[in-house]
Chain A
């Protein structure tokens, strides 16, 4: 009947939708009738159970796979993408600020910088360029990264041009060299370092987002719930089958239940262990990497301020102010140095942290001695100890670099543990779900066949 009706309506060119609803309604009616027919007999009910088992297996299996893959992808991304990019952003940031500090210290040493200072500056520029090209290739477009990368790519050559002009004038003994250096330093602190800071923030937030996804409780809860639903379904099917037959055990279904239970435990233990490892990677690995990198940048900034104070002395009020400001950020209660020692206690690296504290105290003592001499009108005596302050600063950044490498090692190990805890699960979960479903169907088929 409804075939004719359909043709009529199509011929009239009016709305087709109501017809479809009607057809679906008719189909649903037919399906309901079919289900009612099946519910009437025991074998019919067993067929319905078969369908329920298949649908449940597909549905629950899909949810379980999704729950397992979200932390797995996050862990893999943290390990092989976002954390390595954060390291590149850190390299860019620390090498730029170190270049600025090195070049300012170099200009203090009698007009011509030492070969060591020159090489350090050139190495910094090379590191910055390398990190810049890696980030340009891989950082993507998140958080306006291309604009920040563009700023650095455009203005780093301008910076090095100003530095070379400063050097040339400085060699001739011209004070305009110091003005070029100041202009370069201003370009660095007002344009290049803020762009590096933006990139660093973008990368650290991307890594943080991986950590959030990777350690989300929801993944574990979803997986556990899906496992529980599948197990309960299997248990209920077995209870029913036991009730309608004289047999207590249905071997295929017991095997299916054991397999699902095993996979559930495997998955939950794997997820727990992966999330635990990922949290270790964050807490013992990248947290210290971030705090120590920030300390490296700020120590270089303080050293740059100190050198520029002497280079520009008499005309410069900004650099001593900035030096005091950086000092405050490092030293205040709950500041960066306090955070580093908290992290050191967490990671069992208090010896290295204490060595940094001692080195930093020595640096501040030397800086104090230097600024006291300078403000007492003993500029030459102040400049005479500037290389010592610079040497302590360089030692601090070298030791911070070693600590960063150690933290990076802890990150790599824990991130590897996180991904390996989940290894195999992405294949095991669908395999076991299919296996359990097939075994349950076999078990049900045995009962259904008894009625033929």
Chain B
């Protein structure tokens, strides 16, 4: 009668040994759960630009007296290098409706700025399609120009003194204004009427600084959004009372919601846009300024403005070019 007992103990020991391998299943579970719990990536915060003072903010290099003919760029020039490359690489922002935007219907980036890039391609290759557009994020813009990853940046980039220490700018190709967009039914008539109300602007942008600098009694409550277009969502959803940013951006917003939004009040500040080019290529800066001057002279600039921006706002005269060297 002892043998079955010993047998039972043996079975029990086997069971102990079997249950010892449970750890691999725990490992599988923990691995699965930790893989699923991978947190969503967050955007790195972009460092704010230092404040720098300068004179003649809008002045750029004087263009040559006569522009080289298409496909005959002077030997050794940066334009000759672009000509050899076969296309011009431009950094753009595809989020600005009618200014530069990805048209969902065509899959192309289109708009006023893209029209200007095509004119540059026409001047170099006699072919408006010899372009490559690279969509850049705000923190990418200046480094991509400095590192020659793009030949030129046409990115609704505001000329300021700090940026001028980093890259060269063309003459002003569009003079935007900081404006205020509110819901169509709003009784507000200017930024002063939005004291202590939530006003949306792009995070880290000039308008936020302008609002922060206003006296306490009139100061709106700035709501920074990662992207300007998020402000239109916020305005449509009623979580902000207004949007204060560049007129070029706001014109696009109004076009996307013509009956639901309106401009109010005067310009809050001047926002000049220039094309950014590496400081290593002053010959290209002069060439681009020459092309811009030609576009303004022959009416192409106004034609582009009317085609892309004419539906939803007053047209402006081409900005007067200023040269300093």
B43 adjacent to A111 (CB under 8 Å): no
| Contact present for A261 and B97 (CB under 8 Å) | no
A377 to chain B: closest CB distance in Å? 4
- A272 near B15: Cβ-Cβ < 8 Å: yes
Query: Separation in Å of the A365 CB from the closest CB of chain B?
Result: 22
Of B48-56, B70-78, B129-137, the one contacting chain A is B129-137
Asked whether, in the complex, the Cβ of A282 is within 8 Å of the Cβ of B230, the reply is no
Tell me if B47 is interfacial: C-beta within 8 Å of chain A: no
**Interchain CB contact (< 8 A) of A376 among B21, B29, B40, B132:** B132
* Stretch in contact with the other chain, from B3-11, B61-69, B270-278: B3-11
Do the beta carbons of B132 and A377 come within 8 Å of each other? Answer: yes
- The listed residue (A176, A190, A227, A380) touching B107 by CB distance below 8 A is A380
> In the docked arrangement, what's the CA distance between A282 and B253, Å?
56
Bin the interface of chain A by size: 35 or more
Q: In whole angstroms, how far apart are the Cα atoms of A377 and B132 in the complex?
A: 5
Contact of A173 among B104, B230, B257 (CB under 8 A): B104
Q: Pick the contact of A176: B22, B26, B89, B232 (CB < 8 A).
A: B232
Q: Are B28 and A291 in touch, CB under 8 angstroms?
A: yes
B232 engages A190 (CB within 8 Å): no
Q: For A316, what are the chain B residues with a Cβ–Cβ distance below 8 Å?
A: 137
B250-263 contact mask (Cβ, 8 Å, vs A): 1 or 0: 00110011000000
B165 interface residue (CB < 8 Å to A): no
A275 within 8 A of B: yes
Whether A317 touches B43, Cβ cut-off 8 Å, given contacts A173-B103, A175-B97, A204-B33, is yes
A426 located at the interface, meaning its Cβ lies under 8 Å from any Cβ of chain B in the complex: no
**CA of A190 to CA of B29, assembled, Å:** 23
Of A261, A279, A298, A377, the contact of B35 (CB 8 Å cutoff): A298
> Which partner residue on chain A sits nearest B131 by CB separation?
A377
Q: How many A-B contacts are there with CB distance less than 8 Å?
A: 207
Q: Which of chain A's residues 323-345 have a Cβ closer than 8 Å to chain B?
A: 324-326, 329-330, 334-336, 339, 343
Given contacts A111-B105, A275-B18, A283-B24, contact A221 B12 (CB under 8 A): yes
| Inter-subunit contact A111/B104 (CB<8 Å) | yes
Among candidates B9, B40, B257, residue contacting A318 with C-beta atoms closer than 8 Å: B40
In the complex, which residues of chain B have a beta carbon less than 8 angstroms from the beta carbon of A269? Answer: 11
Q: Which residue of A has the minimal Cβ distance to B108? A: A380
Instruction: Tell whether A294 pairs with B102 under 8 Å between CB atoms, given A228-B8, A231-B5.
Output: no
Give A383-403 interface residues, CB cut-off 8 Å to B.
383-384
Chain B min CB distance to A263 (Å):
12
A interface residue numbers (CB < 8 A to B): 93, 107, 110-111, 169-170, 172-180, 182-183, 189-190, 197, 200-201, 204, 208, 211-212, 215-217, 220-221, 224, 227-228, 231, 235, 257, 261, 264-265, 268-269, 271-272, 275-276, 279, 282-283, 287, 290-291, 293-294, 297-298, 312-319, 321-322, 324-326, 329-330, 334-336, 339, 343, 374-380, 383-384
**Chain B residues close to A by CB (< 8 Å):** 1, 4-5, 8-9, 11-12, 14-16, 18-19, 21-22, 24-26, 28-29, 31-33, 35-38, 40-44, 89-90, 92-97, 101-109, 132-137, 139, 226-227, 229-230, 232-233, 236, 252-253, 256-257
- In the complex, 9 of the A-B residue pairs with CB atoms within 8 angstroms, ordered by the A residue number, are A176-B97, A197-B37, A216-B19, A224-B9, A314-B136, A318-B40, A339-B28, A374-B135, A379-B133
